[in-house]
């Protein structure tokens, strides 16, 4: 039996549907990283597991018990999960020891002495025994977040839910919190971690979920998601691609508008003037090649141009798709006539052509 089973989970806020028919099974000891753009539903999904957000439909099972069932003992089931938020939410009027001991004594019914012993064990593991009686205001952000994680662990949960645990921290403090989470992986703790730290997700996760379009858009091992993503939006997110698009629907298209758009795109993302000029030339030459090679003079045309820039590795690519007849301009051998093709062969790092279902596709990497 899976530790967590989510079946058909949907959640909307008014007319905005954030989650749509999400399904997920999590095995005990599994470490799952959840990534995706802002507003894609990552945090809403995590909060729904504890019913901090009430789903519109679907079923959630935690360790075999349905928390979404009518009449379920929600508070009892919640104790199987520990939640760590972006903000630390320590009780500001209590010192560290009181923050750690409150829930075990009040909810689990253990003695204060036993709770303090357990608290000191966790504080020792994270190097904060000296802060046992400090007030939260006297701790750094990284220390407060480590204490917040310890507080979740005090209830001996079966799974920890992390909602972007480092997003509220100064960059100098991020490392200490990530180090603590790495330490927990050695204890075979089941974890679901919403994070923007891609290197961290690659390092600690068994499985990575990429959220988009209202749910789990793509999932796989860290190597599959970060090195060989299959779907378009995953690729764009992982490579941090920026796009410029232009449509050609007649032969008398506005070439100056195309050049101006490429130039503005280059300036916005710090692409060099030299590379921008090459992009302008490449687009212009290929467009005219495809117009001549794919369409008769009186035939309606449909050609799309897409320029992308990757912040991850600084690469720039151009993709041109066209209907009409199959035509590969790079298969032409007479370079003296096709000067644009000759130029592209010299400056491009890679050129690829495919024809499928009536569509020519050219990809050029500069």
Flag residues of the chain having pLDDT under 70: 168, 171-172, 332-340
The pLDDT of residue 176 is 80
Q: Residue 200 and residue 221: Cα distance in Å, rounded?
A: 13
* Beta-bridge mates of residue 215: 212
The pLDDT of residue 167 is 76
Matching residue, tokens 């099972």:
61
The CATH T-level fold of domain 4-231 is Rossmann fold (3.40.50)
The pLDDT of residue 334 is 57
Residue 304 CB-density burial (10 A; 0-12 exposed, 13-18 middle, 19+ buried) = middle
Rounded to the nearest 5 percent, the helix, strand and coil shares of the chain are 40, 25, 35
The pLDDT of residue 337 is 53
What are the tens digits of pLDDT across the range 201-222? 888 899 999 999 999 999 999 9
The pLDDT of residue 166 is 81
Nearest Cα neighbor of 181 from 201, 198, 167 is 201
What are the tens digits of pLDDT across the range 21-48? 999 999 999 999 999 988 889 999 999 9
For 31, other C-beta atoms within 10 Å of its C-beta total 21
For the chain, domain boundaries: 4-231, 240-365
Which ranges in the chain belong to alpha helices (H)?
42-49, 74-78, 96-106, 112-125, 141-153, 171-185, 198-204, 222-227, 232-239, 255-268, 273-294, 339-347
Nearest Cα neighbor of 135 from 82, 88, 193 is 88
The CATH T-level fold of domain 240-365 is Heat Shock Protein 90 (3.30.565)
The pLDDT of residue 215 is 94
Q: What is the pTM of this model?
A: 0.70
Angle between helices 141-153 and 112-125 (to 10 degrees): 130
> 41-52: buried (b, 16+ CB within 10 Å) or exposed (e) per residue?
bbbbbbbbbbbe
Domains 4-231 and 240-365 share a fold: no
Q: Residue 128 and residue 142: Cα distance in Å, rounded?
A: 11
The pLDDT of residue 339 is 66
Q: Residue 36 and residue 233: Cα distance in Å, rounded?
A: 10
């Amino acid at each position: 039996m899976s530790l967590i089973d989510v079946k058909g989970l949907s959640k909307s806020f008014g007319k905005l549907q954030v989650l749509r028919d999400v399904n997920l099974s999590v095995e005990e000891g599994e470490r799952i990283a959840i990534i995706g753009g802002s507003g894609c539903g990552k945090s809403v999904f995590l909060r729904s597991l504890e019913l901090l957000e009430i789903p519109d439909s679907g079923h959630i099972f935690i360790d075999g018990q349905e928390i979404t069932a009518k009449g379920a003992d929600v508070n009892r089931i919640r104790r199987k999960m520990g939640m760590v938020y972006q903000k630390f939410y320590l009780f500001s009027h209590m010192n560290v020891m009181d923050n750690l001991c409150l829930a075990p004594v009040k909810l689990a019914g253990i003695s204060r002495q036993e709770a303090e012993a357990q608290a000191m064990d966790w504080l020792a593991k994270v190097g904060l025994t000296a802060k046992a009686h400090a007030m939260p205001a006297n701790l750094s952000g990284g220390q407060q977040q480590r204490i917040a994680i310890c507080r979740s662990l005090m209830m001996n949960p079966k799974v920890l839910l992390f909602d972007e645990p480092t997003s509220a921290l100064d960059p100098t403090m991020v490392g200490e919190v990530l180090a603590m989470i790495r330490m927990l992986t050695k204890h075979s703790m089941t974890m679901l971690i919403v994070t923007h730290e891609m290197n961290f997700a690659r390092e600690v996760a068994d499985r990575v979920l990429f959220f988009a379009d209202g749910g789990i858009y793509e999932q796989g091992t860290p190597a599959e998601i970060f090195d060989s993503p299959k779907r378009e939006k995953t690729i764009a997110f992982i490579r941090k691609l920026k796009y410029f698009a232009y449509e050609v629907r007649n032969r008398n298209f506005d070439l100056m508008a195309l050049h101006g758009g490429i130039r503005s795109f280059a300036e916005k993302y710090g692409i060099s003037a030299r590379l921008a000029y090459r992009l302008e030339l490449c687009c212009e030459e290929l467009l005219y090649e495809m117009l001549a090679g794919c369409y008769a003079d009186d035939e309606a045309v449909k050609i799309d141009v897409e320029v992308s820039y990757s912040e991850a590795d600084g690469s720039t690519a151009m993709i041109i798709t066209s209907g009409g007849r199959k035509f590969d301009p790079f298969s032409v051998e007479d370079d003296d006539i096709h000067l644009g093709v000759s130029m592209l062969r010299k400056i491009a790092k890679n050129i690829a052509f495919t024809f499928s279902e009536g569509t020519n596709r050219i990809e050029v990497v500069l």
